[in-house]
Amino acid sequence: MDEKTKILVVDDEEVVRLSHIRTLASIHCDVEVVRSGDEALNVMAQRPADVVLLDLRMPGMDGMAVLKAIKQNWPETEVVIITGYPNIETAKEAVRLGAYDYLAKPVGPDEVINVASGAITQKKWALHKDRQQADAGLGAAAGYSFKSSNFTN
């Protein structure tokens, strides 16, 4: 991707939002922050993010509801849940709903960078795979078979 990776940080705590902005600046991402689930979905509707770092417990719409909405409307977006209230049930539910990862607060800068980088890599790999499958489908539909460097019709 030639464009900067877009990361959306969704957390009701200002100190967390500011910390993530500073941390993610080191990997040269375009970072946007919001403090609620409703704001997150509004931003996604206007400027979909590649990766969302999402708090689980927030006033109004909680993180699980936001995760569901993101994966339904923007399935290619990778979502990382970062919560101060971790438990195995919410971790399982988050993964079942399509979260890339689930982390317990507090998270250090290295952990934020590592999970964001991993999510970016996952998204690029998924897009690459989708492109390969689409190309293979086009070749098969046209009656071409691609094997090694030999092309047969």
Domain range annotation of the chain: 6-152
What is the structure's pLDDT at 134?
Answer: 65
What is the structure's pLDDT at 28?
Answer: 86
CB count, 10 Å around CB of 21?
Answer: 15
Kindly report the pTM of this predicted structure: 0.81
Q: 36 — alpha (psi -120 to 50), left (phi > 0) or beta? A: beta
What is the structure's pLDDT at 122?
Answer: 87
One digit per residue, the tens of pLDDT, for the chain of length 153 reads: 347 899 999 999 999 999 999 999 888 889 999 999 999 999 999 999 999 999 999 999 999 999 999 999 999 999 999 999 999 999 999 999 999 999 999 999 999 999 999 999 988 876 656 666 666 665 444 444 444 334 344
| Architecture in CATH for domain 6-152 | 3-Layer(aba) Sandwich (3.40)
What is the structure's pLDDT at 147?
Answer: 41
Q: At what angle do helices 109-141 and 14-25 cross, to 10 degrees?
A: 70
What is the structure's pLDDT at 3?
Answer: 73
For residue 119, count CB atoms less than 10 angstroms from its CB and return exposed for 0-12, middle for 13-18, buried for 19 or more.
buried
Quick one: how far is CA 144 from the chain centroid?
Answer: 35
